[in-house]
Structure 1
Amino acid sequence: MLFIVGAGLGPQHVTDLAKSLIKRAEVVIVEAYTSPNSDWLEDLAKALNKATVKATRDMLEENVNKLIDMARYRDVVVLVAGDPLIATTHSSVVVEALTRGVKVKVIPSVSGPCVAMSLSGLQFYRFGRKVTVPGPWRGADVTPVAYWLLGNLCLDLHSLILLDVDQEGRQLPPADGTRELLKAFNELLSDQKENLGDLLVLAVSATDNDVYVTYSRLSEPEALRPITPSTMIVPASLHPVEQEFLKLVHGVPSGLIDLHLKLLRRIDPCNLYFSARHKVMASP
């Protein structure tokens, strides 16, 4: 049987059920490439007297059938930081295993992106489409990400932004992700007079013991501290309670919030979104 086990944000979040499944498993595979700073997963397995195999992207994607065949005859645990089905890779493994007649059990847990949304103090139901800023190692175009952020702003929805992770488990820093977004916005809106530099950017990092929040204007990415693992947020308009939460809990200056809100009152996000559409649709 195949068990896909979420381990949460750190050792203190690992449930008794997760520990018992790791102990009884015949094979424990540690998947660290979809989440940064996941070395503690191997330490967790060792503390439970289990040797581990470190998963590669190839093992869980191109050659996933080997893993599934192994789980046909033995109890196999794939140990993942956070909540396992947040990553589409793991959903694909579940579907493939069930299609091939192998039983699967998923053990959910706490995920960094969900914690970022809740602890940001922004209203949960006002978050729109989630996007990922690709790392430069992928050679991918970032303008579609900026386009979808405009779409969220058009609907007055906050944007949750994931930061890419490379094969070694290193995450794109928030400052670099913000620079990529700024360049993408400038490219998308090159024929417009609007400048989105005053948009507020938050970076949230949640660990076992604490939550760190850093903030800046979109045009000042160097102001974002290099916290990791982190999730970024670009808010839409802010309810008065959201504004007070950002100021009192996270120390966001009133001046940054005021600049953000003035920008959103001045621009027409829907017009910018539809104006940028032809550029995105023309991309290969």
Structure 2
Amino acid sequence: MLTFIGLGLFDEKDISLKGLEAIKNADMVFAEFYTSRLMGSTIEELEKLYGKTVHILSREDVEISPEWLAEAKEKNVVFLTGGDTMVSTTHVDLRLRAKNLGIGTKLIHGSSIASAICGLSGLQNYRFGKASTIPHPYTSIRGKTIISETPYDTIKLNKEHNMHTLVFLDIDKDKGYMTVNQALSLLLEIEERRGEGVMENAIVVGIARAGSDEPVVKAGYAHYLREADFGDPLHILVVPASLHFIEAEALVKLLGAPQEILDELDD
């Protein structure tokens, strides 16, 4: 049996009782932290709580050569991820591989950033469209810096359908954790080049360390939040479409957005 367990958002205490029980009853415990990770905890703290050794898997171990998967044919194996399990396509693919090997699977969910952003921001969950990820820029073989414009296009499409956009920020083993500030700088650079008005005067929401005791959540114009201090990772960005009155009130009164976005709705 292979049990997929989501660990929640921030530290070792976010796991559900059902998930903790499954880990304690497991023969082997594996985890990957390249798609997300618990910034408020360490592997040692996880192992202390679980009373188990946690085997950390690389991207290659999960996506290319998951030889460890065979252990689940005869043993009770759990696979841990930050956030909620199955949010990443990588994890769905792993579950399908297990199915093809005749291995039974089970899911134990954890808190997800997809729902946490609604609680933290006041934005309504049913108004979100397609999500996107902003990757770090990279250098081409000709030495040119390449910035992906896919997130900009996704935000544009969602706005055309009056839908909010959740923007995940890149985690790279060499370049580190992308910040809200870096993400906004990239989007505004694309805006300056293309001039399509997607980010011009756009209200955005930046969130840092969701799930912690003191998350940072700020709303305001993109060019202003680009200079704001969000502190340590993990960061995530939301680009709203038009705002319902309750959403606008939440952004202003809870997140510090400018009063004028409420005044405009009253006009």
TM, length-normalised to structure 2: 0.86
Partner of 1:199: 202
Partner of 1:278: none
Partner of 2:171: 165
Partner of 1:132: 133
User: Partners in 1 of 2:59 and 2:158 — Cα distance?
Assistant: 31
- 1:22-61 deviations in whole A, cap 9, x for unaligned? 1121211121111144472622223222112111101100
Superposed, 1:171-182 pairs within 5 Å as 171-182=177-188
Higher strand share goes to which structure?
2
Partner of 1:251: 256
User: Which structure 2 residue ranges, 5 or more long, are not aligned?
Assistant: 141-145
Give the conservation status (yes or no) of the 8 Å contact 1:4–1:106: yes
Give the conservation status (yes or no) of the 8 Å contact 1:38–1:81: no
Tell me the CA shift for residue 149 of structure 1.
0.6
Give the conservation status (yes or no) of the 8 Å contact 1:26–1:74: yes
Tell me the CA shift for residue 100 of structure 1.
1.7
Q: For 2:159, which of 120, 143, 153 is the aligned residue?
A: 153
Tell me the CA shift for residue 250 of structure 1.
1.7
Structure 1 residues 44, 169: closer, same or farther in 2, change over 3 A? farther
SS of residue paired to 2:185: helix
Partner of 1:280: none
Partner of 1:219: 223
User: Partners in 2 of 1:169 and 1:103 — Cα distance?
Assistant: 37
User: Partners in 2 of 1:227 and 1:152 — Cα distance?
Assistant: 29
User: Partners in 2 of 1:195 and 1:122 — Cα distance?
Assistant: 19
Q: For 1:239, which of 221, 241, 244 is the aligned residue?
A: 244
SS of residue paired to 1:232: strand
- 1:123-159 deviations in whole A, cap 9, x for unaligned? 2111111111112359764212101111111111111
Give the conservation status (yes or no) of the 8 Å contact 2:130–2:154: yes
Tell me the CA shift for residue 252 of structure 1.
1.8
Higher helix share goes to which structure?
1
Tell me the CA shift for residue 214 of structure 1.
2.1
User: Partners in 2 of 1:34 and 1:203 — Cα distance?
Assistant: 19
User: Which structure 1 residue ranges, 5 or more long, are not aligned?
Assistant: 263-284
Question: What is the root-mean-square deviation of aligned Cα atoms in Å?
Answer: 2.4
SS of residue paired to 1:54: strand
User: Partners in 2 of 1:153 and 1:24 — Cα distance?
Assistant: 47
Tell me the CA shift for residue 168 of structure 1.
6.7
- Find out whether 1:109 has 2:113 as its counterpart: no
Residues paired across the two proteins, number: 256
